[in-house]
Copies of this chain bind each other. A is one copy, B any other.
């Protein structure tokens, strides 16, 4: 009954995610988005309302792709020891950063920018971060070496790892060559072995 869409919503959103991931919310200009997504102003505003709404949709897409992937690694039953899952997760992001991927984590970038002052965005970011927190905690629970840890200790370890995650993602994004990423995986191992109760 009417003219059909010339673009697929799904791929347009994936491309929008790419633009926001690279530039961040504020610094991604509308022209950036339009060329990146391959459509024009009218179509974008008709299909996604406005920039902020588009970003919120993209944020949820990011969660269901990047965050969920990390959380799945942290819950991967094929790797019996939760410790190994944690290391795998960090090794993934460190490898990406050292291979020239300086996009970091869209969630972290959003949290860092002034976009986080918007309540809607802040809430979505909070949701994603909490998911990461839960994933880390699940992996800790699945690690024999942490069997003796109390609940507060487990939470503290999860939070330390999440803070480390955020710090590393910001470092990846900053392109600062402080030599941190080179041995960051070993550093994570140090944290894990140090956190375990030793006889």
A171 in the interface (beta carbon within 8 A) = yes
Q: How many residues of A contact B (CB 8 A)?
A: 52
A82 in the interface (beta carbon within 8 A) = no
* B175:A160 contact, CB within 8 angstroms: no
For A133, what are the chain B residues with a Cβ–Cβ distance below 8 Å?
178
Identify the closest chain B residue to A152 (Cβ): B183
Binds B, one of A10-18, A43-51, A73-81, A186-194: A186-194
Restricting to A13-31, which residues have a CB under 8 Å from any CB of B?
23-24, 26-27
* A162:B180 contact, CB within 8 angstroms: yes
| Given A27-B114, A178-B130; A108-B170 close (CB under 8 Å) | yes
User: Which single member of B111, B130, B153, B179 contacts A159 (CB below 8 Å)?
Assistant: B179
Shortest A108–chain B CB gap in Å is 7
Binds B, one of A33-41, A52-60, A63-71, A121-129: A121-129
A155 in the interface (beta carbon within 8 A) = yes
Q: What are 11 A-B residue pairs whose CB atoms fall within 8 Å in the complex?
A: A24-B114, A108-B170, A109-B112, A112-B174, A122-B175, A122-B176, A125-B176, A126-B178, A166-B170, A190-B195, A198-B198
